[in-house]
Amino acid sequence: MREFSYDVAIIGGGPAGLAAALAAREAGAERVLILERDRELGGILQQCIHNGFGLRRFEEELTGPGYAHRYIDLVKATDIDVWLDTTVLAAEPGGVITSVSPHAGLTVVRAKSVVYAMGCRERTRGAIRTPGSRPAGVFTAGAAQRMVNMEGYLPGREVVIVGSGDIGLIMARRMTFEGAKVKAVFEIMPHSNGLTRNIVQCLEDFGIPLYLGHSVTAIHGKDRVSGVTVSKVNDKLEVIEGTAFDVDCDCVLLSVGLIPENELGRAAGLGLDPITGGARVDQFRQTSIPGFFAAGNVLHVHDLVDWVSEEAAIAGRSAARHARGELVASGRQRSVTAGEGLRTVVPQCLSAFEPGKMSVRFYFRAAKPMGASLLQFWADGALAFERKLRVVKPSEMIVADIPVRKIGDAATLEFRVLPAPEKIDAEDEIEEEA
């Protein structure tokens, strides 16, 4: 068994891993390694052939592969090592990473810092407990996306999509482009979980109906899917009797949420956030185990890759500083909580600030859609900072920079989102610039 040593080892070569590796190298880590289980770098972006990526990061609209290639080219221009077809089996405290690959067999890497960048995976039929038979033709939307865009297979001709996540919406258009008939999208919640522009461009453009407040209550078919039964649900998400109807189809695509692919972190004993499913991190994206960092969808599921790149750069820089012994044990950590109107906040705790630090950027998910709102920051029970938001949607992450002087020495830090007393004009909203 061969052994290697690195300053920073990054698990995953998708957008988070690529940005973390570059930032670590730029911040002075001399030996940086990316471990990637797929045949090439780029992660899920390689199958996201639609455009709309990179508006913030590159100020132009790129396709998924286009965005990935910008970063792959930057990595190739450095001396960062990349191991492809390499699956990490364990990453243990102390920075011992065990991996396996067809060409190198079992390998151990000793790293001063480790960055988790494994991304996320899709929730499946089991996760939403859809009753019925177990026929062929039921896929997660992302699996179908890989088949259609990379492997050259069409998973069905008459399609029903369950859930209104972005990948499902994108696949509604993609399947339509490839000659399939997409009959409907059914979303159990009273609001869509996808970006507004995807509702317009992927459904409305092609007359594909979106049924909100509807649940697929059964999947039918013996060998192949033959149809689904759908019912309306009430505000407790309970099926309303007498509203059931059937839709014939030969393919069901599920777009019912994403969960961090965090088995390695869980096995290593990281402190987890039960809501995001990812690690609890401080502003350096350091987890509860010193020297272990996390960024991107393995930390919390993002809607824009631009934010993934930015967050991963923070983790990469911090990992480089830790490898050099510059990220000192932070001492007292203060906990940050998502209060009224919010579901999640990242980072979940704050360590001591770096000298000269002016602000800390926080990322939030709202609990429910709201119109004009106020994002409030409460320090030790007193309102310390307030920002106007024109609109709040659970599908779109809220990003806010909080000045360090507003945070001060407060021991308890809480964020809330409340309805704004009056309508907010565009000029009043401050957009955070990356």
Partner 1 sequence: MMARVVHAIQCIGCPIGCGGEVAVEDGVVAEMTGFTCNKGLAYAAEEVVAPKRMVTTTVRVSGGGLPLLPVVSATPVPKDRIFDCLRLLRGVTVVAPIAEGAIIVADALGLGVDFRAARDIASL
- Which residue ranges make up the site for partner 1 (CB under 8 A)? 46, 49-51, 55, 61, 63, 65-66, 68-69, 148-152, 177-178, 195-197, 199-201, 204-205, 303-304, 390-391, 396, 426
- Which of 93-115 are b and which e, b meaning 16 or more Cβ less than 10 Å from the residue's Cβ? eebebebebeeeeebebebbbbb
CB of residue 65 to partner 1, shortest distance in Å? 4
Q: Which is nearer to partner 1, 190 or 271 (CB)?
A: 190
CB of residue 197 to partner 1, shortest distance in Å? 4
* Residue in 40, 28, 41, 33 with CA at minimum distance from that of residue 108: 33
Residues sharing a CB contact under 8 Å with residue 119, sequence separation 6 or more, in sequence order: 12, 14, 16, 43, 44, 260, 261, 296, 297, 298
Q: Which is nearer to partner 1, 197 or 222 (CB)?
A: 197
Q: Which is nearer to partner 1, 205 or 326 (CB)?
A: 205
CA torsion sign for 269, 272, 276, 278 is negative
CB of residue 168 to partner 1, shortest distance in Å? 17
Tally: H helices and E strands in the chain: 9, 27
Count CB-CB contacts under 10 A for residue 433: 7
Query: How far are the Cα atoms of 11, 201, 284, 335 from residue 281, in angstroms, in the given order?
Result: 17, 36, 7, 10
CB of residue 99 to partner 1, shortest distance in Å? 23
Q: Which is nearer to partner 1, 254 or 398 (CB)?
A: 398
The four Cα atoms 196, 300, 311, 303 give a dihedral, to 10 degrees, of -10
In DSSP notation, 285-297 reads: -B-SSTTEEE-GG
d(CA 82, CA 6): 12
CB of residue 169 to partner 1, shortest distance in Å? 12
CB of residue 317 to partner 1, shortest distance in Å? 26
Residues sharing a CB contact under 8 Å with residue 205, sequence separation 6 or more, in sequence order: 173
Q: Which is nearer to partner 1, 262 or 297 (CB)?
A: 297
CB of residue 129 to partner 1, shortest distance in Å? 31
CB of residue 43 to partner 1, shortest distance in Å? 13
CB of residue 282 to partner 1, shortest distance in Å? 27
* Residue in 60, 58, 61, 19 with CA at minimum distance from that of residue 42: 19
Count CB-CB contacts under 10 A for residue 356: 6
CB of residue 79 to partner 1, shortest distance in Å? 21
Q: Which is nearer to partner 1, 187 or 261 (CB)?
A: 187
Q: Are 80 and 34 in contact (CB under 8 A)?
A: yes
Q: Which is nearer to partner 1, 196 or 335 (CB)?
A: 196
Residues in the chain: 434
Q: Which is nearer to partner 1, 61 or 386 (CB)?
A: 61
- Degrees to nearest 5, angle at CA 333 with 15 and 385: 80
Q: Which is nearer to partner 1, 30 or 204 (CB)?
A: 204
d(CA 186, CA 164): 7
Q: Which is nearer to partner 1, 136 or 399 (CB)?
A: 399
